[in-house]
Structure 1
Amino acid sequence: MASKMASDDFDDQFLTCPVCMLHFRDPRILPCLHTFCKGCLEEWGTKQQPLECPTCRTQVSLPDQGVDGLRTNFYVNNLLDFSAAKKGAEPGVPCQVCEGNVEGSKSWCTDCAMLLCESCIATHRKIPAIRDHELVPEEVMKSKEGVDRFQRKRHCQKHKKYELEFYCESCKALVCTACTVIDHRPGKDHNPVEITTVAQKIKEKLQELLQGIDPRLKEIQASIKEVDSKLAKLVPSKEAASDQAKEYFRQLVDLLHKREQEILNQIDEQCRDDGKTLQTKKEVIEFELAGLTSAQTFCQQAVEHGSDVHILEVGNQVQTRVETLLRKQLDLESNWSEFQFVENTTIADYAEEVKDLGGTKTKVDVSKCKVVFKPAVHEFPCIAVLTTMNNEDRPCVTNSKAVTANMKDPSGTDLPTRVQMKSRCVWEISYVPKVTGSHRLEVKVDSQQVTGSPFDITVQRRDAPVLTIGRLGVGVGELNGPVGVAVDKDGNIAVAELGNRRIQVFDADKGNSLRSFPTDGEKPYGIGVDSKGTFLVSELGQNSGLKCYTEEGKRLDTFTLDCIKSPRGLAALKDGRIVVVDNKRKSCLLLQNDGSLVREIGKGQLQDPRFVTVDDSIDRIYVTDHKTHKVFVFDLEGKMHFSFGEHGNGEGQFHGPIGITLDESGNIIVVNWYGRRVQVFGSDGTFIRTVATVDDGHPHGITLTPEGYIAVACFIENCVKLYRYN
């Protein structure tokens, strides 16, 4: 059925390939609905992989046939035919068959897509194979209404002389009449239907979609109009804000200059006052000096030159005068020190305060602001994160002085808080709770309470879990026999469920299930993540081995080497190698990333190994031994460096050590199966502290999250518990 085409709906640009800027040659449609020449796409594909649409940059997955498999844009072909026919109807255009006749009227063959003169038309109609081709006369080519006549007929690739008139709904393929008899005979496997019927259904669906496009277009156009309006205001707004900022800082500079002059005047005034005081002091001292010098001279002359009579006459007087001068208490100290300027505020402190001098601000809607709380633990630094939002639900900036926070502990006593901008629109409110229990945090922006403020925050004990993920079940967010845990490249917690035979990934903030995928083996046990983000899973059971999965759960490789008997915990090195604990072999296996064995480690020393962790920086592996109640430390060459631990329930002792991991400082974190204590040891095995005691749940694997929480897989309680570590 011919579709209507309006000549006014296109122009020469519509028929031009955006790559070569020429009229389309064999136009092909990409999945994003942009059209290009087949040759241009083939050349474009040689320049980049994966292929991107030259117009919208959408990545394109080509069919197995490559560009040849892309759909032809027959609509554009028809318009090209119409354009060519219009030009052919002009005077002086030669026939495209005989290439010579330019006189007389001409017609366009829609099947051959060629312009024919009257002589060639007569010959064309005598040939049986093409006598039924549709010819469009010159008067129709010249009229705008004739465009709907230009529809190239589609012929079957297998039966060249037959048109495509049917659509096999089972095969989703266009077929001809011959195909419906041979390859697509109606029956249980094939259902050929006339194209008109199927096309009408599709048109109706497309029409429904079109009805939804107009409102969306209006919405987008309104948004563009709004953006244009804001763009028009952008520069004037910027200039006004700049002028305000310049005036603000000019006044600050004036204040600094004024303060500078005040300090200089104080120094000058102090100098004058000190000068007068020192001059008076000098005169007093000089007067005393003159009196003592005069007495000294008179006394010396009397002693050296006076007669006995003279001595007897003036001696008593001289003695009295000198003794009086010597007994006189004189203040000979000047009590003055050099001038020194005192920095009441240091340059460094002022530099910090300067950051708060002014800022940009948009209208903050306190009802839209968002506050996210991290778990609060007694005597640990805790934070709440505020995102300031505008009335359009978009993050926006505000002045640093506009955000305030006030916290009270259970007794109503104020708890110091600190508000600090971490990035644009994001503020961190930090505090250190001194007691456990319910605290209240009041958060304001521009002196207005944000929605939900004041917030109730429960501060937990240091050894209490801050978050418990999962419960018994097979549904989303539920767990059955969690054993191994690991952190993926995005900081989420991946759990190997032995009972549900799957891997489930949770976010570490709230414990929401993000995704899950089944494992192929009977009993997934250990889990690790390599540097590429690939999940490595050890499987127990009849087909024990290692399996690799993508983040989405697609299986990549399976290692079923004869050397692997009973794999348990595992760890990935940065270079791609893998260390896996083999409980039955009583050793650890160092494998290449293809699963080939490099060497066996710990044979003869380990008796019941369970989990392993690796420190790439020093090429060390740490293995828990459930039976000997120790942690063994080897290098990657297989040499044992030391072991630590002894049987018991005291500090630094083990009772069935099982899960193990490292922190950034190289400290070793171990959880006990029986004692259930999570303990921390130095890199040399020296006991440091006990983090927590896990509730009865038979802990297995543990891992440390980027946020500083220890995640413990609790097998019996069917959950993962998070404890604050740092």
Structure 2
Amino acid sequence: MASNFAINEITDEFLVCQVCLEDFKQPKMLPCLHTFCQLCLEKLLAAELDGKLACPTCRQDVALPQNGVQGLKSNFLVGKLHDILQQQAKEDGEASDPREIGVTCAVCDKGNAAEFYCVECTDHMCQTCNGVHRRLKITRSHKVVTIQELQSGQASTELPASETFRCEDHNELNKFYCDTCHRVICLHCVVTAHKDHQYVELEEAAEREKAKIKGKLSTVQNTAGWHEKWIQQLQSVRDEWPSQVQRTEEQIANQTQAIIEAVEKMKNDRISQLRAMNAAREAQLETAMEAAEVDLASARSRIQHMDDVLEYGSPSEVLSAAGELTEWTEQNTDERPEMTKDFITLTVVPPVCQVNVEQKVAKLMGGIRQTRVPILLKTVGKKGSGDTEFNWPTSLAVTTDGNIVVTDRDNKRLQFLDKDGSSKKIDLSFYPLCVAVLTNGELLVTGDGHSIRVLDRHGRREEHIIQVAGATDIKATTRGVAVDRFGRIIVTIGTQMFVISPSGDIIRKFEEKGQGQQQSALHVTVNSSNQIIVSNMRNNYLKIYDPAGRHLFTTGSFGWGPGQLNYPADVITDSEDNMLVADSVNHRVSLFSEDGVFIRHVLTQEKHGLNFPMGLAMHDGQLVVSDRHSIKFFRI
């Protein structure tokens, strides 16, 4: 039963047309290697208004030969595999009767059981169709075997003929291969159109091509392996995305909650302030009301007294009361403005300008930054001293020819990596530390005392040596090197930086002593404004200088957290003047903005397998990184 299961699986995958979902009839193979029935392809082509055919499976456009679908290559392997499976079924005792194994006539549409097989047409036929097949002039010479012969293996010697199709010009079996025209030919072709050509027997040509296929197959297998690794990377990216979304949602929720809490606190503060101000004005009002009530009582008492005097008083009492009333009136005629002048109305103060609250909140919330996920495209090299083997590659540069040049330090050489993946090595007499490219294509190599070696663009010939005069540290060698937009050379020796003309004249020099340390290992680059960016390996920071050597600002500090550095090596800038630094001992590449604000870790050991990254270069939109013993290419 297990054998039968395997046969069924192969039949479904390889022997069934994915258009009609039946066994192949006259199988035709497209350039994309998908196979379909000839009739199915013809029907699909007829249904296309533009007269163009696309593969039903992968949707690739198909370039048809002059005679249309019929001119496509026949997939004889399908027919042979079909016959092998039938033979296997018989050997397993599954069935010998064609009706039991379900093989029907491929010529008629009556569903009759197939009893014969035409080796040259690769069709199964019923008894009736076989009779017609033998009577037709065009097919009467075809080799026909019974299904029983096919299943028993008696016709196996005839089957190779099904793969050797006939000549389109002479209808003879193709037995030769023309090396001049690169096509299979028959004997008639040999003595006519191809008589002056180079040709060999078909089997010999096939063996020769098999050897070529085997030789190229390893390249295809390597490509397949690379694609498998790429799929694994893509899968790891996919696996990371749900947690990434969750973390981002949590950050949004936390930011929202912080804003809500801040707004709630502000609301409570404003309400408390309002209530305190209201309590103060109510106390003021209460005092005013108490004073008014005292004055009212006094006035009413005075009125009652005057009424009594007017009604019952003597003339002398009336005169006395009149004087008292005049005096009282003069003293109590004011409206006590001091009690009410400080009364206030409480309202919300509107903003100075009209504010869209939603926009303000959106600004407080921030946005969702989209950054491209770095994908490892390929890794070149391993530890060693052979071709494309490295021993501490410390620096990278892109030549004017578009190749990558690597300072293979402990192997005392440069290595060039071409676009096609090949390499070339140039031996040196010293340990090269850094490399840069002049505008004329010449290479600048540091590490040889107080000098810069200038090589031709291919590294084959030494053009001249630039001696850097005025260095105070006699033990230090030239290290960091860069070329600015004006073609001037910036090179470091110890704690000093020199700006040099291409001819070797020193334009200026300045010193970077670090924080309490006299010795420094400095890497250097420039941005589009010719600002000089220095990576201080031993003091763990980046310093930025203007073109005149004046210090502008410093960013970074020792540590492992965001924005911190541990033995930073090479530093480069991107198209927006952001700074990328190889944070070697932290095994990562970090990104800082033009003004020194930490943005993110672009590459890490955990996600991208970095191991002591030292050199960086941007090449055709890719970030190239040299780590301990290899060169890695990332799409970012």
Calculate the TM-score normalised by the size of structure 1. 0.41
Higher relative contact order (CA 8 A, sep 6+): 2
Q: Which has the higher helix share?
A: 2
